[in-house]
Amino acid sequence: MTQEYYHKQQLQEPMIITSMTTMPSSYLNKAVISLDYIQIGNVVDEENDKLLIIDRNYRNKFSIPNCKVISVDKTDANSLIVDLEYQEAGRYRIVE
């Protein structure tokens, strides 16, 4: 009798399904913000697990690995934060 009661209780509880992937499939057009809250630029392309970022003056390009993304803003700001300070982003600058 007791087992039957608990079995009914388990069936009545709603199932919660969570997804293992929390990162969006694409970061295109998102603003990239450093840890010290300075905008590095906007994502213009993604390839080989790297983000191609161009600053707002279209002078500097950066290739930052996806693994550096630590936060994605899904509000109107449409930005993401990378695990770098603004000065460190220079290590990922593409020199042409």
What is the CATH number for 54?
Answer: 3.90.50.10
Range of the domain at 37: 21-94
pTM of the model: 0.69
31 is a domain residue? yes
3 within some domain: no
Q: Is the pLDDT of residue 21 over 50?
A: no
Q: Provide the number of structural domains found in the chain.
A: 1
Q: Residue 74: what pLDDT?
A: 75
Block residue for tokens 């390009």: 61
User: Is residue 9 in a domain?
Assistant: no
Say if 83 falls within a structural domain.
yes
C-alpha distances (whole Å) from 16 to each of 6, 22, 54 are 19, 16, 40
Query: Reduced to 3 states, what is the DSSP secondary structure of residue 15?
Result: coil
**Is the separation of the CB atoms in 80 and 32 below 8 Å?**
yes
Q: Is 79 part of any domain? A: yes
Structure-block tokens of residue 70: 């630590």
Q: Residues, the chain, total? A: 96
* 74 lies in some domain: yes
- Asked if the structure places residue 44 within a domain, the reply is yes
Q: Which residues pair with 32 in a beta bridge?
A: 41, 80
